[in-house]
Amino acid sequence: MTSPLFRTKKVEQSILDTEEPEHALKKSLSALDLTVFGVGVIIGTGIFVLTGTVAKNNAGPAVALAFAAAGVVCALAALCYAEFASTVPVAGSAYTFSYASLGELPAWIIGWDLVLEFALGTAVVAVGWSGYIQSLMGNAGWEMPAVLGSREGADGFGFDILAAVLVLVLTGILVLGMKLSARVTSLVVAIKVTVVLVVIVAGAFFVTADNYDPFVPKAQPVEAGNNLDSPLIQLMFGWAPSNFGVMGIFTAASVVFFAFIGFDIVATAAEETKNPQRDMPRGILGSLLICTVLYVLVSIVVTGMQHYSRLSVDAPLADAFKATGHPWFAGFISFGAAVGLTTVCMILLLGQTRVFFAMSRDGLLPRFFSRVHPRFKTPHRPTILLGVVIAVLAGFTPLNELAALVNIGTLFAFVIVAVSVIILRRTRPDLHRSFRTPWVPFLPIVSVAASLWLMLNLPAETWVRFAVWMALGIVVYFVYSRSHSRLARGEETTAGDVMRPPGHDTR
């Protein structure tokens, strides 16, 4: 007899639940909208900072190969996401996928993980955006009061007002509808991609071939650490990665991988897509391909403009332009980063609210949060709740040390989705799959191995914090979610529940 902890929710039931009038999201997104969402959340400060930082510390000009390698790892996970999102077009992403394949407790764990991942990610990005805006204001001669400019900017009390206001404004946009969110995202993404392309084209004129010599610098061993700040793999096996050389490329790939985080959030919008069977794979894979190409081109330009050994760590791309006698590009790059981070913040918040909404619709969180707005057809209750909480978090809480939790949470979700593809292929071979992950189970197994490898390269301290959060989630599950689950109560949506009143339309 199957344990109640691993009871699965039928795919057909999940899809039927999305048709309940009071819990149905409006379908308004196209493949272009999804691609724009993906590009909007993937391209952030990483393209302006990580490219040069990793070139100097880990790979030299071969950082371009590191971005390509990281893109391949993400593509493995993206293929798995594409199959699930097109087969089970329901809000919740990895949470919904694991509920259909692994069972309720694993689904709860991954949902709990995603809530933390997106919340911290949104707050961290909002604080980063605030820093760029304050820098631009400083260039114009405007200074924020210390008490409102930083959480640590005053004696005793400090509140990052800009970060909090950004989250609240984006919360309002998300409440007003997905199509409005898509339009705002399209405008901002157009601006930031233009900035990136200008940087690539302009920088290409200042490239010197000698800066690429050597393209793969000689390997330099790294001494293994023995404390919680060290990667877990070092503490377990005493193994330490090398910088530069061929292995340095893979060391760099484990770092720049985190610049790709975000494409998985596209899957959370599956329920709001007009034709998810066709458009979800296009949106997920298309956005990842575009960003990989841009990352590789930027890395080639920055290492060609200035020798990798002389690149700065804090603002390598901006300083490379200064080194060529064009300092005004530094402000231009800061502008692009600030504009770009607004969409990163909004789409992270979007992803979290959809996971929260899906969990509440299943009864694992209070059903109060699963009712959509009667006019806008958006999950306004969890959006407002989480928006306020994250605004406070961004305003008050030091987040630098917690940011790594975003990375481990994402990789954990990659593992779950890849495993779920294998399981659902075996348990439900009859399901119609408009997109099929190739070479199953080989490709998902490789995806799991690649994700686990990157997780092992995260600091041990991150693993400890992640374990504590997961333990807290299990307590919440047994105290509340297990008994309130709709599956536990035998509550199922039937065809009669989804009959709409005259004139009702979610399209």
Please give the average per-residue pLDDT across 186-190, as a whole number. Answer: 90
Percent over 70 (pLDDT), the chain: 92
Say if residue 379's pLDDT is above 80: yes
Q: Residue 238's pLDDT band (boundaries 50, 70, 90)?
A: confident
3-state SS of 172-210 is HHHHHCHHHHHHHHHHHHHHHHHHHHHHHHHHHCCCCHH
Place of tokens 């407790």: 105
Q: Residue 225's pLDDT band (boundaries 50, 70, 90)?
A: low
Structure-model confidence comparison of residues 170 and 150, the more confident one: 170
Q: Residue 129's pLDDT band (boundaries 50, 70, 90)?
A: confident
Mind giving me the DSSP string for 386-441? HHHHHHHHHHH---GGGTHHHHHHHHHHHHHHHHHHHHHHHH-TTS--SS--SSTT
Percent over 90 (pLDDT), the chain: 46
**Domain chopping of the chain, boundaries:** 4-489
H/E run at residue 79: helix 63-87
Say if residue 414's pLDDT is above 70: yes
Task: Please name which of 403, 350, 335, 357 lies closest in space to residue 23, comparing C-alpha atoms.
Answer: 357
Looking at the DSSP bridge assignments, the partners of residue 243 are 220
Please give the average per-residue pLDDT across 367-392, as a whole number. Answer: 93
Say if residue 507's pLDDT is above 50: no
Q: What is the pTM of this model?
A: 0.87
How far apart are the C-alpha atoms of 448 and 456, rounded to whole Å?
Answer: 12
Say if residue 174's pLDDT is above 90: yes
Q: Assess contact for 341 and 128: CB atoms under 8 A.
A: yes
Task: Please name which of 470, 453, 69, 56 lies closest in space to residue 259, comparing C-alpha atoms.
Answer: 69
| DSSP summary character for residue 221 | E
Say if residue 1's pLDDT is above 50: no
How far apart are the C-alpha atoms of 480 and 488, rounded to whole Å?
Answer: 12
Please give the average per-residue pLDDT across 81-93, as a whole number. Answer: 91
Structure-model confidence comparison of residues 201 and 145, the more confident one: 201
Q: Assess contact for 40 and 188: CB atoms under 8 A.
A: yes
Q: Where are the beta strands (DSSP E) in 54-150?
A: none
Q: % helix / strand / coil in the chain, to the nearest 5?
A: 70, 0, 25
pLDDT score, position 493: 62
| DSSP summary character for residue 480 | I
Say if residue 156's pLDDT is above 60: no
Please give the average per-residue pLDDT across 301-322, as a whole number. Answer: 85
Say if residue 434's pLDDT is above 80: yes
Interacting residues of 297 by C-beta distance below 8 A, sequence separation 6+: 200
pLDDT score, position 200: 92
> CATH classification of 4-489, choosing from 2.40.160.10, 1.10.1040.50, 1.20.1740.10, 3.40.50.300?
1.20.1740.10
Lowest mean pLDDT: which of 68-82, 140-154, 285-299, 479-493? 140-154
Lowest mean pLDDT: which of 47-61, 207-221, 394-408? 394-408
How far apart are the C-alpha atoms of 371 and 55, rounded to whole Å?
Answer: 48
Say if residue 65's pLDDT is above 70: yes
